[in-house]
Structure 1
């Protein structure tokens, strides 16, 4: 029995994909965030592919099982038809994440997708009040009675591009790595 686990960072949070492969029976079990999404109990063919989705945005995923030699197998995970490593690299370029401590003491993860300006708080996409400013745009939302503001504006420098800032309780928050 081979078992492997991947952690996939997305705007909705880190999602855990677990895979168990019965190398004698061909059985396959895939779990996403602890929930079973694929189960094949007995298969004559030990190699092949399984498809499923990940996260609330239902990102298409494909797990490819290949024989490397004898009874050794390789497992490749694809998201949106990109190998996991490439998907993670591209997603990191399109996402900013901040971690803030709310008045209740709870540490909350806030993410913004740069291309759509969708805001995710924890695992939930939230609606924000959007508007334009003199320099760009802003999105306003409230968590635990506190005002949050995401400002999006141009840096004025070609190599820096667009700047995204989170202001919480009047203070600028520093983004984290995905």
Structure 2
């Protein structure tokens, strides 16, 4: 006769590790303090912040994309290796390799290219501007090969009108009128030059690499 209650019998005890975060909502699982590496890159007209959590004592590896959990492995006894995931059909691999001094090196590869190589090649295909209207931050991206215009990752359907020396594309964000101008540079090497005006004032062009220093709010997390 067992003195254990029915719920405490050995056959009823869980064989799964108890160090899991399944019981926590996603917002609670995300902890900026646990992030050991982060990258930022444009993929198909949208900006993505990729973050890695690597628990060397818990054995947990978690990958976050724009604040969303896309991969989690608990109780990883092998602390090095690689994890594969996809972002909008792009194949991404994060590698964890040993480094001197009991440390680790983290690298990201996208579609078979290193993050730096991929970002350098892709950024040539875009123009990027950052603007704030009221309390709202806007990220305005132009994809050069298709002339697709994205505002905070949303594809805009705006019409361009011909002017004397190029085209103008007008659109409104809150009470601010934006004009995307396309003008000939006058030489074959530079081709068409794009600039953005907000209420008649020039918006400085931004660089993709700036996002590594930008606050998380510049990327949507919903």
Q: TM-score range by the shorter chain?
A: 0.7 to 0.9
Structure number with the higher strand fraction is 1
> Which of the two has higher C-alpha Rg?
2
**Alignment TM-score, normalising by the size of structure 2:** 0.63
CA contact (8 A) 2:37 2:106 kept: no
2:107 counterpart residue number:
76
Structure 2 residues not aligned, in runs of 5+: 1-33, 209-222
2:46 counterpart residue number:
12
Specify whether residues 124 and 58 from structure 1 end up closer, same or farther in structure 2 by C-alpha distance, changes over 3 A only.
farther
Structure number with the higher helix fraction is 2
State the Cα RMSD in Å: 3.0
Q: Secondary structure at the match of 1:87?
A: helix
Q: Give the Cα–Cα distance (whole angstroms) in 2 for the partners of residues 34 and 156 of structure 1.
A: 43
Instruction: Measure how far apart 1:114 and its partner are.
Output: 1.8
* Equivalent residues, number: 173
Cα deviation digits, residues 111-164 of structure 1 (max 9, x gap): 212222222222323222234455444433222244322222331213322201
Instruction: Measure how far apart 1:85 and its partner are.
Output: 1.4
Specify whether residues 147 and 70 from structure 1 end up closer, same or farther in structure 2 by C-alpha distance, changes over 3 A only.
closer
Cα deviation digits, residues 51-93 of structure 1 (max 9, x gap): 2234xx5543211223457954332101232211122222332
**Alignment TM-score, normalising by the size of structure 1:** 0.75
Q: Secondary structure at the match of 1:160?
A: coil
Q: Give the Cα–Cα distance (whole angstroms) in 1 for the partners of residues 203 and 102 of structure 2.
A: 51
Cα deviation digits, residues 1-56 of structure 1 (max 9, x gap): x852213043534x3322122446643211122221101113454433212234xx
CA contact (8 A) 2:110 2:118 kept: yes
Matched, 1:35 2:35: no
